[in-house]
Structure 1
């Protein structure tokens, strides 16, 4: 059963990563031709100077603290130069937590979107401690989360694989997230990262080593409970871990590990859930007709792009009386309405159009090396939280150059930043393809492949269609890619 199941996962991942490689490479073709030709010439010159490139990489890896320091300076420059800090849903949550909008507004929003209540309470607790300065505390914590995750991932590679894997994992992560504008986004994407990385570290440790199992399982339960409060998809990697143990057929070990983990996780998660349910910071109307649920996100996932909120709402409004359709809390999220709309959407697809929908949704999920960063000018955004520092940097030439190159998706020079990210993302796709090219009876490789497969399957069933959603599976994606890249490098050195 172990071999049959994981050979199926390996073949599936081979097809998915090949598709991933193709869509990422195709996206490079959308950049200006002259720009691409120049990039190609630079890459050819770098390949010709391979030994010098290897020496430069080794020098950089020998000075990781220096790289992290440069990344921190980069992040501070982005924070100071930013014209807006958060947008859309995140902006409503943060402005509500900082009492910048009315109590009724944030109450209505969280009644409809209860999944954002934990991050609201997290930000509100900081507001109680620091007042409006909590806005900058959130930024500081965001920097700690991003850079702390880099350390956890590096230790995962070094402690359980090799120095080469650790260096590759550290480099890919730092290029994609350490040097990125995501540091200003104080939302669950960044907040959950160190907990997700901690999950990965502990699970790999449990697969690789027998000692300290109970301590690691208890800590895994704690970390998973916190991660699940912010990101329920943190449970997907737990399912993959459990399936590896189960299919190995070592029943005593499976029962032992699951019993300790479930006890630890259940205790912490139950405590957090009860505390959140009985919170007194904001009024939440407990009515299933008013709140988005799992069926809402299945419904949203069935829109053609997988993320078309307006299309989803238009469909649900068909089941609401015409005179109530303009009301915010009009009961359109009733389970009965959701199920009717899901059935209607499924009937509207043919086998061909449903396959095209999945292909488009998967491509939109995988293609973008800038990880779906879409900040624009504040006046073009919905409910933006404009940075208090913008009044001082609005006319500063350097800050404006940072905004036009790194922060604003529609900036004059943003494509320079974007193409660098796309090249790194292409490297990630190459590593993933190499890692799953053939089946190996390796528990860790199979665990990582299954965890990523499960994450992508989740995004195909529920809301998907944005590369940003891969951030919740980033630790396992980058680790598997690093294993593949090191395999390529070792084979090339032998030749």
Structure 2
């Protein structure tokens, strides 16, 4: 964070300290949680590329960005949304600089290094996956992408055991794809344009509203609520704990404050902050279209929210003060 904005370090420490208390989902070994370090490294690598003064340091940033993007994609493909947003931002910046030989060479070589690492990494991983002597994987037994779209527009847009069990009984990926296409067409016809708009509004609320990020909302493993708690930690984080409701309340307040910083800090318009905003919009759009329905899926994008919130902190304070002053003046005029 010091690379991007020095005076953002203090609010970052405060927000991270609060997050350590409220983010109990960190103990769940799921891909949403496990991909977070790579998302953070993508942000760090980008900051190094943009802010470093020497070429060796910029190269370290580029390698960090490229390798972290590869790792994030292999672990959680949707996490690559941040990389896409950054590449769009860099491309737009390239169009604004002078087309000198030095600039074209620098941007061109950087893109080449990224593509070599990313594409070769994916091809190597796939080659190992399908040509190893340990675990045999059949090409035509995977779930197609439209399977997750079908779940994303059915019910409340969350994981559907019924659809999963149905597709698992099918023999090939093509059968599963045809079945998912049937579900998608059926839902679109049933809901209509205005019905889908209403559905997406409700789904976005489900995707973003829970400050505990799905703790005790079907994302286990959880303890037996019939067993009594034994210590303070259990009293706070177990659903039958003495202070569990207090914890949920504090976590929700923290999440509201974090989102408020981003909203009120809209006046902070650096190139990097715009990349982060674009990635958040991309992530929210992805969760609307594909399987979602729970705030747990936001965890993979949490480093983006956190970084944007602390970068926007000063702008948010100014806007809040201006709003408060305007309200105060209005009330004084009325009296």
Q: Name the TM-score class by shorter chain.
A: 0.7 to 0.9
Contact 2:157 2:291 (8 Å CA) reproduced: yes
Q: 1:348 aligns with which of 186, 190, 201?
A: 190
Corresponding residue for 2:234? 403
How far the C-alpha of 1:489 sits from its partner, in A, is 3.4
CA change 1:349–1:313 in 2 (3 A) is farther
| Separation in 2, partners of 1:299, 1:242 | 29
| Separation in 1, partners of 2:182, 2:157 | 18
Corresponding residue for 2:204? 362
How far the C-alpha of 1:351 sits from its partner, in A, is 1.7
Q: What aligned pairs does 1:6-45 form with structure 2 within 5 A after superposition?
A: none
Alpha-carbon RMSD across the aligned residues, in angstroms, is 3.1
Please give the TM-score of this superposition, normalised by the length of structure 2: 0.81
How far the C-alpha of 1:180 sits from its partner, in A, is 3.5
5+ unaligned residues in a row in structure 1: which ranges?
Answer: 1-156, 318-326
How far the C-alpha of 1:328 sits from its partner, in A, is 4.2
Corresponding residue for 1:427? 257
Corresponding residue for 1:184? 27
Corresponding residue for 2:40? 197
Corresponding residue for 2:328? none
How far the C-alpha of 1:335 sits from its partner, in A, is 1.8
Q: What aligned pairs does 1:93-112 form with structure 2 within 5 A after superposition?
A: none
Contact 1:302 1:342 (8 Å CA) reproduced: yes
CA change 1:170–1:470 in 2 (3 A) is farther
| Separation in 1, partners of 2:169, 2:275 | 43
How far the C-alpha of 1:331 sits from its partner, in A, is 5.1
How far the C-alpha of 1:308 sits from its partner, in A, is 4.2
How far the C-alpha of 1:176 sits from its partner, in A, is 2.5
> Cα deviations across residues 150-169 of structure 1 (Å, max 9, x unaligned)?
xxxxxxx2222123x12222
> Cα deviations across residues 168-200 of structure 1 (Å, max 9, x unaligned)?
223323322455432421222222111110111
CA change 1:397–1:301 in 2 (3 A) is closer
Corresponding residue for 1:246? 91
| Separation in 2, partners of 1:478, 1:220 | 18
CA change 1:478–1:257 in 2 (3 A) is same
Corresponding residue for 1:217? 62
Q: How many residues align?
A: 311
| Separation in 2, partners of 1:278, 1:223 | 24
How far the C-alpha of 1:480 sits from its partner, in A, is 1.0
* Aligned: 1:257 with 2:89: no
How far the C-alpha of 1:345 sits from its partner, in A, is 1.6
Corresponding residue for 1:160? 4
> Cα deviations across residues 411-455 of structure 1 (Å, max 9, x unaligned)?
55421110010111111011110122x483x21121111111111
| Separation in 2, partners of 1:186, 1:198 | 19
CA change 1:233–1:170 in 2 (3 A) is farther
| Separation in 2, partners of 1:328, 1:413 | 44
5+ unaligned residues in a row in structure 2: which ranges?
Answer: 326-335
| Separation in 2, partners of 1:180, 1:352 | 36
